[in-house]
Structure 1
Amino acid sequence: MRLSIRLLAPIAVAAIATPAQAQFFDRLLDRAERAVKGEIEGKVDREARKVTRCALGDATCIKAARSRGEEPEIVRRESGPKAYPVIDGDREIRFPMGERSFADAVVTYRPGDRRGLSRAVQGQGNVLGAPDGAGGAPCAARGDCPVVALAPGGEMVVRFTDNVLTGSGDDASDLWIFTGDAHSRLSVEVGVDGKTWEPVGSVHGPRGGVDIDAAGFGPYAAFSHVRLKNLPGDGISARPAVATIDAVGAISTRELGQ
């Protein structure tokens, strides 16, 4: 639709006599383009909500997915402390709430330019729950590790539903992002409502931690949302334009409502 509008625009403008009419026509074009973009993003967001319902164990959603020949991602809810073979400097990373420490819901998924992205790496549920690639090699090296891809311009918002992300009061990592390969570059923002965002750092490589205390948020912070965006390359090293995400985990965390 955008292409059709743009092709018709010069013909229509040529027939308009005054600058005021030309400006009016431009506003019409902008509104039409925003309407098309809003419809596309609305469909993506509806799909994100559907994935979330399945992941949290909604029986109707799971039955519908299986009737289509799909096996939905279901987040496991084990709560005991669990360590993953990841080192942050000289510290071993431990997730105090076990698998409940990881993101539970997809709020939005906008993959960016989908060209070149297979359906397998657009499965939004792949980012939920504990990391699939935590046992050693990054996901891309194993080949059996489900991830979500962000093309240039892509972003994803995930949410914790039964816990919140806090600061730790020291320089240790509070949030850990497991990506799917060694080339991913992601900016990281946190929020309390999914509308207002606070930038807290970035992650480069197959996995990395973010210290939200360094951004001014201590143990009394209570963030439920995390937004990840694909960062452009540095212009020096050759790297794929696509970033991938395996899991998002809160190291510094407490139960919702505490």
Structure 2
Amino acid sequence: MNTSDKTKAHTEEQYDHVQSVFESIASKYDIMNDILSFRRHKAWRKFTMKQMAMKPGDTAVDLCCGTCDWTLSMAEASGTGQVIGLDFSPNMLKVGENKVRAKHKEDQITLVQGNAMELPFEDNRFDYATIGFGLRNVPDLEKVLQEMRRVVKPGGMVVCLELSKPTWQPFKGIYYFYFQKILPSLGKLFAKRYDQYKWLPDSLALFPGREELAAIFRNVGLEHVKAYPLTGGIAALHIGIKENRHV
């Protein structure tokens, strides 16, 4: 097996493993998000929506949409614009579909099972491309960002809300102790899943820090990149703009 084949096999193995993780925790995903983030994820998303400043009629694609909380927030902010939620986990999408129906947003929101590294959408289609708490789970995050940049219109916005790495002590030490030692035990207690929640801190260990991710945004061709630390740096919001050829 040559290097290219080995890389492809590793990518496929990682994709399958992550998919199996989220398939198994889908029914408990929302309550675990509340518990593990102390409900801060709701405040982070609210801050993100403020920075995005969506206008009526704006369109969006929400990658790794999971159970569709952010997808619904964008649909409500847009009012009439079409919003597509994409995820690779059928079980997560089933939970999201129930939420979409409960909010009577079936005509505005379309849910698609797919791969964030190979988006099934044409170039320059959306005003926004977003990914929330999903970028650290993909085998090739740079490829995902390239795809997000491809499918937004010139002047469109690429948005990533994700866990990050605190840089100052003693908060950094407390955070890593919680994430590596306490979080998996909470997963076992509330979701009956230890191994899956043990994998989540492992995924963060390999994920770039706030400034590193901002540099990757620039490397894929995004402009006016902004990076906001949230709650002491345990999460971060990154925003980049696709160049506007008309300016």
Given the two structures, how large is their TM-score scaled by the length of structure 2?
A: 0.29
More helix by share: 2
Given the two structures, how large is their TM-score scaled by the length of structure 1?
A: 0.28
Bigger radius of gyration, 1 or 2? 1
- Where relative contact order (Cα < 8 A, 6+ residues apart) is larger, the structure is 1
More strand by share: 1
